[in-house]
Amino acid sequence: MLTPELANSRFMRAARCEPTDTTPVWIMRQAGRYLPEYMAVRNQVTFIELCKRPDLAAEVTLTAREALNVDAAILFADLLPILEPMGFDLEYVKGEGPVIHNPLCKTNDPGRVKPVENMDDLGYVFDAVKLIRRDLPADIPLLGFCGAPFTLASYAIEGGGSKNYIATKELMYTDEAAWQELMLKLVDSLADYLLAQIEAGC
C-alpha cells in the first residue's frame, strides 16, 4: 500500500522524475558479505536457510539499510527459488553454488515446466516482506526482487551458472517455439510473483 509518507519519499519522488533535495541512493546487494552484520547471521545458517527464513531475511534487509543509511531497502532474496514450484530440483552446493539436478536438456522439455499456480509455495518471501515493512521507517520504500526470465531460463537449461550459455543459446536458436513456451511460463510466473510482493508490502 502506497502511503502518503512513501509517495512523498525521496526515492519515490525521483522515480516519478520529480525534484528531490538530493539524489536518492540504494545498492543492489545491500545485504552482503562486506557487512559484518550480514556475516554474523550468514555464519549461523546455510544460504538457502537465510533466504527461506522470514525472520532472518528481514533482519539482514533491515540492518543493511540502516547501516548504509540509504533511501530504500531491497528485499533480501535469491532469484532461483521460484524455480522449485515450477518443477526444478534446486540445491545450493557449498563451493559450487546453485545446482539444478533436473535441467532442461531436450528441446521438448519446456512442456514439463509448470507455471507457479500457488504463490503460497513462496510464502516465506511474502512473510519476510511483511516483517520488513512493519519495521522499516514509514518513508523508506521496500523494493521487491526477482530474476530476469533469461537468467532463470539459463539456470534451468544449463543446470547451474554458465560463462557461455551454450545450451541456452542452442535452445533459443534451434527451437523458437520451445523457447517462447519457456519464456511465457517464466514471465507469467514472475509477474504474479512481483504482484504478490507488492500486495505483501513492497
Just list the catalytic residues: 29, 33, 42, 78, 155
Mapped to the 3 state alphabet, what secondary structure does the chain carry? CCCHHHHCCHHHHHHCCCCCCCCCCCCCCCCCCCCHHHHHHHCCCCHHHHHHCHHHHHHHHHHHHHHHCCCCEECCCCCCHHHHHHCCCEEEECCCEEEECCCCCCCCHHHHCCCCCCHHHHHHHHHHHHHHHHHCCCCCCEECCCCCHHHHHHHHHHCECCCCCHHHHHHHHHCHHHHHHHHHHHHHHHHHHHHHHHHHCC
